[in-house]
Structure 1
Amino acid sequence: MDPARFEAVYLVETPLDPVRIAGIMAGEQSSGTFVRVEGETDALRARAGAIVEAVEPLEAVAEPSLPNAWLERRGVAGPWKRARIRISFPVANVGANLASLAATVAGNLFDLGEVTGMRLEAVHLPAAYRAQFALPAQGIAGTRRLSGVAHGVLVGSIIKPNVGLSPQETADLVGRLCAAGLDFIKDDEICADPPHAPLALRVPLVMQAVRRHQERTGKHVMVAFNITDETDAMRRHADLVAREGGSCVMASLNWCGFSAIETLRRSSDLALHGHRNGYGGLSRHPLLGISFSAYQTLWRLAGVDHMHVHGLQGKFAQTDEEVVHSARDCVTPLTDGVDDRVLPAFSSGQWAGTAPATFDAIGHDDLLFMAGGGIMAHPAGPAEGVRSIREAWDAVTRGEALEEAARQHPALAQALDFFGAKVS
């Protein structure tokens, strides 16, 4: 890869010539506009212009994927051609500016009048350019070290009820979840710093519960406090967590934005749990938005340590195939020679019974496997819910069917009977 250029890959739909559209995209996102302007010399174009590296024709369709008033005003009709377009941009156009990088590879492209579909599929960076951005402060290895889980899947859960618990009630629940044998506990994305449970009160009480458990067992349970807020408040919240001996904070990436996450990363070495809530609005239409591959690339440049990928056979709209690809993206280095892998966080409808599909699909246990109801609704209680998940993962990693393992493990047997009936 040319060290002076980075690349973006797009899926495009248009009734016009895709080669022409690729040229429009390259001009729009670099030195040009819809007409040549004063000062836009050949030398400037050669220095700062984007280059169309490839246009791969795909199928044509009879109906447009998205409405387009620009084409309607001109009476342009189908067929609508699809193509995969690869464009490279000069690194010098952007520098080490993540927000500007995102604006360059996406920006106004979604609004182009010539297209009825536009999706950013991937972003590829040369190694020297990737090195100008943040790395995970903890990543997979650091998360394992902080949580004391050297090998095997990390088992986690989420504070439920989502909102409404007082600081003391939250701390009491965390204490019970620690005792149940969890490695990781997180706030829900909708509970950050509410008046009924402000972080200033909640963090010290929760960390008291964590420390008491650690004193009894030697186990430090990682708690991801949701510190989503404006930038200065997030830094204060992270400082509070660090002072209280915490190891992790969580932020809603889409609503905080790149700049806030970058500032948080620079100011704290706590593990940063990146929650992607809202991502469906950027991704669910197959001809609009940003694929997870491109999405996670940009957020990894901000320095997150964990990324949500949803879960197999879960409650959300993503296909299992998309979840698997997302998890694989997280554990694939962005460039050669640098370990910038992040921990994929599986959640949404997970329980002991989804362990086989998860392991079969990704083939490793460098992941965070989170279950809410799958732990706390276990008929024998949360501790047996955690036990059932560990028993399931132990079975699948040694190649044993869950039904066979359940003959020797009551917690797993109860989970299969109870949750299996719920999802069948």
Structure 2
Amino acid sequence: MTASDRFQASYLIETPLDPALVAEVMAGEQSCGTFTRVEGETDDLRARARATVTEIVELPPADQPSLPNAWLRRKRVHGPYRRARVTIAFPVVNVGANLPTLASVVAGNLYDLGEVTGLRLEQITLPATYRGRFDKPKHGIAGTRRLTGVSKGALVGSIIKPNVGLDAEETAALVARLCAAGVDFIKDDEISADPDHAPLARRIPAVLTAIKRHQDATGKHVMMAFNITDETDAMRRHADLIVQHGGSCAMVSLNWCGFSAVTTLRRSTDLALHGHRNGFGAISRHPLLGIGFQAYQALWRLAGVDHMHVHGLQGKFAQENDEVVGSARDCVRPLAEGCDDRVLPAFSSGQSAATVQATFDAIGHADLLFMAGGGIMAHPGGPAAGVTSIRQAWDAVTSGIALDHASREHPELRQALATFGQSA
């Protein structure tokens, strides 16, 4: 079996047992085996269907287990708790082009194995031929730039605030104000989808009328990501409504819709799909449990999303800056050789002109969506000055000019640094 016939998954594991033994258990559990060899599990079958361990790198052990484990307790097995990075290769033929099954193979029951006191899926590596069997972003970075008319530099966006409570007409008025301020992108909050006070059936036409009016006056199409998170048929209906009224983007709360629904949505619409990761912390914050962002975004890119949230540097959430940086880099790294399937990393969470320097220094490029709520709406000069300050900051850093130096010539940037810089 060649490399193109297998995909790989890498894990961080913790166990009081021999990591090599545990890795073999993992490989068997997620392919043709179980805790013991069974009737029908011939050598020929194992040769074509069994996963294989390709690498084990042992790390320093821990004195205490990261997670409780009744199986080990019953067997009176104690520490030290050995840690290792394990890579397993799985036969492509076991899965086919089936995203929910792929996810269950690389994760699934592994989290419940009695042999481990910690397990985290960290990376998925796919051969190009296998990656080609799944959906790709219909727009990604290049397509989003075409739709918004932003050929270079960071795309500047904002979020509807208040999060909920505005009716359709009030939302449209706020969108018109943000369009006039000069944003490239606006999105609903993840908790505002189809509420009684602003149902999508009213909000979509009202908001897109405001966007069309702005486009007619300026030639600028502002991309609006309507949160259509719902059951699959409702999402498809709402996506059709967005298209009917001239919109270009829909937002989906990925974790709560699931791979099947998002894949179906992708195949039924040409809209850009803005993937919101809310809930990701529940499966990622513990260092020895869940899924790391590289593996997470790889799976969702196979569903065909165009944008992925990565949070923001120096933001209001719990992630370390290094994790945000790594997530953004994952988004712009092709999943397989020769495949242009990059997605637009979406920065948000406490962002303003004051966080631009740190973002650019860490990322090194401007192929990203930089969203600010308070950083735009709370700027002392008003929303237009907030947007201008962010653009001034990005122009400066991409030209190699320090923000404090650029702020001497740009009052909007100077005000933003004075107002928001204390949290930077």
| TM-score bracket, shorter-length normalisation | over 0.9
Is residue 315 of structure 2 the alignment partner of residue 348 of structure 1? no
Is residue 142 of structure 2 the alignment partner of residue 115 of structure 1? no
Name the structure 1 match of 2:56. Answer: 55
Is residue 128 of structure 2 the alignment partner of residue 140 of structure 1? no
Amino acid of the structure 2 residue aligned with 1:346? F
Is residue 196 of structure 2 the alignment partner of residue 195 of structure 1? yes
- Shift of residue 259 of structure 1? 0.2
SS in structure 2 of the partner of residue 3 of structure 1? helix
Name the structure 1 match of 2:392. Answer: 391
Give runs of aligned pairs for residues 306-385 of structure 1, distance below 5 A. Answer: 306-385=307-386
Cα distance between partner residues in 1 of 2:407 and 2:51: 58
Cα distance between partner residues in 1 of 2:251 and 2:94: 32
Deviations 1:128-172 (A, max 9, x none): 000000010001010000001011110000000000000000000
Cα distance between partner residues in 1 of 2:16 and 2:274: 42
Is residue 417 of structure 2 the alignment partner of residue 416 of structure 1? yes
Amino acid of the structure 1 residue aligned with 2:13? V
SS in structure 1 of the partner of residue 4 of structure 2? coil
Unaligned runs of 5+ in 1: none
Task: Give the 4+ runs in structure 1 shifted more than 4 A.
Answer: none
Name the structure 1 match of 2:230. Answer: 229
SS in structure 2 of the partner of residue 303 of structure 1? coil
Give runs of aligned pairs for residues 259-270 of structure 1, distance below 5 A. Answer: 259-270=260-271
Give runs of aligned pairs for residues 121-270 of structure 1, distance below 5 A. Answer: 121-270=122-271
Deviations 1:30-59 (A, max 9, x none): 001112212111111111100011111111
Percent identity of paired positions between Structure 1 and Structure 2: 72
Cα distance between partner residues in 1 of 2:319 and 2:27: 31
- Shift of residue 264 of structure 1? 0.4
Amino acid of the structure 1 residue aligned with 2:187? K
Unaligned runs of 5+ in 2: none
Amino acid of the structure 1 residue aligned with 2:280? Y
Amino acid of the structure 2 residue aligned with 1:30? S
SS in structure 2 of the partner of residue 53 of structure 1? strand
Cα distance between partner residues in 2 of 1:103 and 1:109: 9
Amino acid of the structure 1 residue aligned with 2:134? F
Instruction: Using structure 1 for the length normalisation, give the TM-score.
Output: 0.99
Cα distance between partner residues in 2 of 1:66 and 1:332: 33
Cα distance between partner residues in 2 of 1:289 and 1:347: 23
SS in structure 1 of the partner of residue 3 of structure 2? coil
Name the structure 1 match of 2:80. Answer: 79
SS in structure 2 of the partner of residue 245 of structure 1? coil
Cα distance between partner residues in 1 of 2:35 and 2:4: 29
Cα distance between partner residues in 2 of 1:237 and 1:41: 51
RMSD (Å) for aligned C-alpha atoms: 0.7
Name the structure 2 match of 1:403. Answer: 404
Cα distance between partner residues in 2 of 1:4 and 1:286: 31
- Shift of residue 420 of structure 1? 2.0
SS in structure 2 of the partner of residue 120 of structure 1? strand
SS in structure 2 of the partner of residue 415 of structure 1? helix
Cα distance between partner residues in 2 of 1:302 and 1:151: 27
Amino acid of the structure 2 residue aligned with 1:363? G
